[in-house]
């Protein structure tokens, strides 16, 4: 029952997105443009810089994607949802939707980066695991930040101000684990960092689930 409501809301968001394609096309354009600027400026990059640039592009793509999370849930529509579903259901569905969006974006960014700047990683599976976990974490944190920022008047600026310091720990771990994956270290060395990444994601999700109700209530 509870989960089916979440699934229903996610499907609704996906369907709306599929019909209008405004978020995904805007962010895809953003990714393409940034990748091309990076390519024009650097032409070819070292593996270490590749990782740094990748996460910077992913970070701002996440900010842009999540900024739209609560645009539809304002005014009357919000009241409607407020009566129908609980806050936990709402935040969970938004987190899932944004994470799905982030997964898609990380695939796209990886593809464009690989095309223009080359692909320094040895194992494809390892890189996709890391970028998926990173996308998930960024999706969770920025969904919550978007909920907070949607309450303020200048929410566009606030998204970046509030979000960047919050996700820096995640990004540091991500860059670290990506660099380790680059060196083709054995899995036993890398999996500790992956666990750390999962732990950060779990804490962010737990805080979001416990404290989102206070934001949802008006």
Partner 1 sequence: MAAALLLVYTVVVGLMGPIPQREILYETIRNLYFHVPMWFAMIFLFIASMVHAVRYLYTSKPEFDTWSVEFANIGLLFGFLGITTGMIWAQFTWGAWWSFDPKQNGAAITLLLYLAYMVLRNSIGDPKTKGRVSAVYNVFAFFAMVPLIFILPRLTESLHPGAEGNPGFNSYDLDGDMRRVFYPAVLGWAMLAVWMVQLRVRLKMVKEHLYENSI
Hey, CA dihedral for 37, 42, 46, 48, is it positive or negative?
Answer: negative
Does the protein bind partner 1 through residue 82 (CB under 8 A)? no
∠ CA 195-54-32, rounded to 5°: 135
Does the protein bind partner 1 through residue 158 (CB under 8 A)? yes
CB nearer partner 1, residue 18 or residue 218: 218
Collapsing DSSP to helix, strand or coil, 55 comes out as: helix
Does the protein bind partner 1 through residue 166 (CB under 8 A)? yes
CB nearer partner 1, residue 101 or residue 148: 148
CB nearer partner 1, residue 27 or residue 200: 200
Contact in structure between 38 and 72 (CB atoms under 8 Å): no
Does the protein bind partner 1 through residue 151 (CB under 8 A)? yes
Residue 189: C-alpha distances to residues 128, 153, 180, 193, 200 (Å): 17, 46, 8, 8, 18
Does the protein bind partner 1 through residue 161 (CB under 8 A)? yes
Does the protein bind partner 1 through residue 188 (CB under 8 A)? no
Does the protein bind partner 1 through residue 209 (CB under 8 A)? no
Give the helix/strand (H/E) hosting 89.
helix 87-117
Contact in structure between 147 and 118 (CB atoms under 8 Å): no
Residues of the shown chain interacting with partner 1 in the complex, contacts defined by CB under 8 A: 144-145, 148, 151-154, 158, 161-162, 164-169, 172-173, 176, 200, 203-204, 207, 211-212, 214-215, 217-218
């Amino acid at each position: 029952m509870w989960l089916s409501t979440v699934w229903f809301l996610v499907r609704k968001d996906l369907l709306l997105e599929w019909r209008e394609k405004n978020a995904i096309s805007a962010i895809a354009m953003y990714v393409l443009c940034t990748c091309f600027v990076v390519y024009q400026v650097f032409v070819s990059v070292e593996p270490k810089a590749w990782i740094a640039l990748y996460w910077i592009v992913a970070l701002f793509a996440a900010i842009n994607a999540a900024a739209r999370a609560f645009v539809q849930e304002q005014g009357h529509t919000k009241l409607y949802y407020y009566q129908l579903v609980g806050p936990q259901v709402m935040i969970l569905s938004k987190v899932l939707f944004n994470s799905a969006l982030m997964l898609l974006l990380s695939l796209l960014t990886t593809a464009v980066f690989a095309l223009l700047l080359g692909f320094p990683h040895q194992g494809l599976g390892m890189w996709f695991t890391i970028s998926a976990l990173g996308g998930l974490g960024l999706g969770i944190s920025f969904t919550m930040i978007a909920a907070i920022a949607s309450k303020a008047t200048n929410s566009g600026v606030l998204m970046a101000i509030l979000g960047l310091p919050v996700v820096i720990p995640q990004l540091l771990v991500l860059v670290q684990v990506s660099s380790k994956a680059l060196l083709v270290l054995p899995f036993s060395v890398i999996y500790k960092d992956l666990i750390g990444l999962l732990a950060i994601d779990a804490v962010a999700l737990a805080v979001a689930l416990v404290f989102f109700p206070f934001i949802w209530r008006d």
